[in-house]
Amino acid sequence: MNEPYRCARGRQCADHETVAESKFGARIETRDGLCRDCERVTSRAIADLPTVFVQLETIVGEHKQGGEHVSGTKERPVPARLDVLRLQADIDASVSVWSAAVAGRCAIPWDARALRLVRPGHRVMRGARLLAHRIDALLRLTAVEVAGWVSGRSERAGLVSAPLSGLDAALVLARLHQRGRQLVTGGTGDAHLPVPCPRCEAPALVKLNGRDQVDCQACGRSWTEADYQVMCLAIADSYRGAK
């Protein structure tokens, strides 16, 4: 019997199903997609991105302000929140790229060149509004060549081109929204990862807020984010081979 198609959000699916104590995405009719509930959740998250973007700006603003001592000597400037600035850049880049792609698919007039000249907050607002209202069109996009943006990161060292689908984009946009909400609501933003540590086998892997590495809180071993992704793929392959 063939395995059913499942919502791409997996254990985070709004209508997930528990099988043998494991969580799986809701059953869907197509191979790669979201269930109806997750489409609505993702659409709302994308629509909220402009608000999150502005709230992130207030966090950056707090760190830009320098006080002044009574003696007249200025306080040392507080270092910029690089994690916040990078998240803002990722939101701006991903919303800009995919709103242009959706506008093209739906034959909606969209001057991406002119939008590059406006303030980032306004650009995010325009793009997110289009994406939230056309989530169905976004999810139907397949193998779009995305130059200058890949895997949710803004690439400043040079243009990078990679084929990504609208489903990839929807999942990334939802993660960016979740990350932003964690930062602006005062949560730690730490991500507790589901894969056990390959060294000590403890379920203690964590990606700390603002860091680009994965740490085991049990044995202290660390991996880069890229190595962690490779490790997850290897574990998934071994699991499929054992079935």
- Bridge pairing between strands 144-147 and 22-24: unpaired
Per DSSP, the three-state class of 153 is strand
- Residue type present at position 18: T
Q: Where are the domains of the chain?
A: 34-63+80-188, 190-243
Residue 150 — φ and ψ, nearest 5°? -150, 140
**In this predicted model, what pLDDT tens digit does every residue of 177-187 receive, in sequence order?**
988 988 887 65
pLDDT of residue 70: 45
User: Nearest CA to 41 among 224, 171, 151, 144?
Assistant: 171
On the question of pLDDT at 154 being above 90, the answer is no
CA 68/CA 90 separation, integer angstroms: 33
**In this predicted model, what pLDDT tens digit does every residue of 192-236 receive, in sequence order?**
676 777 777 777 777 765 566 788 876 778 888 777 777 776 666
Unique residue bearing structure tokens 């700006």 = 57
CA 63/CA 149 separation, integer angstroms: 27
Range among 9-18, 129-138, 165-174 rated most confident:
129-138
User: Nearest CA to 95 among 60, 130, 69, 119?
Assistant: 130
pLDDT of residue 4: 82
